[in-house]
Amino acid sequence: MTWLYITLFILLIIIIVFVSYHLDKEKRERLLKKYKDPDLVERLMRGEFWIGQTERQLLDALGTPKDISEQVLKTKTKETWKYHKTGNNRYALKIKLENNHVVGWDKK
């Protein structure tokens, strides 16, 4: 009976690895079609963020934030995108955007 559980466990790991690889491949192909820049796509696939990055690129790199704080001023819009919730209104990563571009971040 134990060998059956071990076999099922190994099979499950193989399936997870295969699905993960397939999903990454699909995402990479989708991003290459969208941006037509292999270097940019590699950065997005690694989950990188940088000053000047667009809102769309940030979404492609990190996904949808857990929370967004927004401040609308006369000449610009400021947002703070919050990722990796660690407690009540606490986040390990806060990325600041102005007019839909990354201007800074706070990473704990």
pLDDT digits (tens, 9 = 90+) for 30-55: 999 999 999 999 999 999 999 999 99
pLDDT at position 1: 67
Q: What confidence score (pLDDT) does residue 42 get? A: 95
pTM, to two decimals: 0.80
Q: Which residues have a Cβ under 8 Å from the Cβ of 68 and sit 6 or more positions away?
A: 79, 80, 81, 82
| Sheet architecture: strand order including 67-72 | 67-72, 77-87, 90-98, 101-107
pLDDT over 90 (residue 21): no
pLDDT of residue 12: 87
